[in-house]
Amino acid sequence: MSANELAGRFFDAAVDLLRRVRDEEAEHIAAAASLIAGTVADGGRLFVFGAGHSSIAAQDVVYRAGGLALMNLLAVPGTVGVDVVPATLGSALERVDGLAGAVLDTSPAQPGDVLIVISLSGRNSLPVEMAMNARALGLKVIGVTSLAYAEETKSRHASDTFLKDHCDLVIDSKIAVGDAELTAEGIAAPFAPASTVVTCALMQAVVAAAAGELAARGIDPPMLRSGNVDGGHEWNGRVLGEYGDRIFFRR
């Protein structure tokens, strides 16, 4: 199979997954948007967490042109990207018990806030305990995960539970176990992961729907503009100043 054919097959697989999430998770996406909009309207704060490559989708909605200014990254040191050396340390930290609780206890999160926990497998201690501890603190938790993992793998948490078991709302990314969409002759392992494409799109869909929900409630959504367009910095300065008590990525 040619390189162009493989590239085309990946695009087709990603598009098919995007269509599935759009059609099959529409109700959950709308519910997540409503929960976020209600929290913003009530003066609450928004946090998003992801470890490893799941952190990419979390970071994609934080301080983003065209995005909701109130999205804050809840970062766990050593798990936010592959810049940590060795890169395998991030994977190891996802299995450490107690880390999530320590991070939440020192975070600005308060009862009534919303935390979105993104984890493809939802099976490691870190995302499971992040959701568990957040709910215990009075936060509303939205889980973004692949439910296939809960059906086909075993939890790595002592409770034998998955992320999905500790959320107020779950959105299924539909990614198959292994996160590899392609196989081909001469390539021993499955390849071409689509979870980042799908989960980033899913998160942007939630934010877009939340903005629409806020507007429907008569609230001008605090959106950021690109700093590379005329007036963008001035616009963002006004928004960041107006909502500064709920924005933590500047501190």
Q: What is the mean pLDDT of each run of 10 residues along the chain (251 residues)?
A: 90 98 98 98 97 95 97 90 83 86 93 98 96 97 98 95 98 97 95 98 98 97 96 96 93 73
Give the per-residue pLDDT at 83. Answer: 77
Give the per-residue pLDDT at 165. Answer: 98
Give the per-residue pLDDT at 232. Answer: 96
Give the per-residue pLDDT at 147. Answer: 98
Give the per-residue pLDDT at 98. Answer: 85
CA-to-CA dists, residue 167 to 114, 145, 170, 224, angstroms: 11, 11, 6, 28
Give the per-residue pLDDT at 91. Answer: 86
Using alpha carbons, select from 171, 153, 181 the residue that is nearest to residue 116.
171
Using alpha carbons, select from 25, 81, 73, 17 the residue that is nearest to residue 45.
73
Give the per-residue pLDDT at 164. Answer: 98
Using alpha carbons, select from 208, 176, 207, 172 the residue that is nearest to residue 194.
176
Sheet (strand 114-118) strand order: 71-73, 46-50, 114-118, 140-145, 169-172
Give the per-residue pLDDT at 223. Answer: 98
Q: Do 145 and 177 meet the contact criterion of CB atoms below 8 Å apart?
A: no
Q: Which residues contact 91 (CB under 8 A, 6 or more apart)?
A: 52
Give the per-residue pLDDT at 224. Answer: 97
Give the per-residue pLDDT at 2. Answer: 84
According to DSSP, residue 68 is labeled: B
Give the per-residue pLDDT at 99. Answer: 87
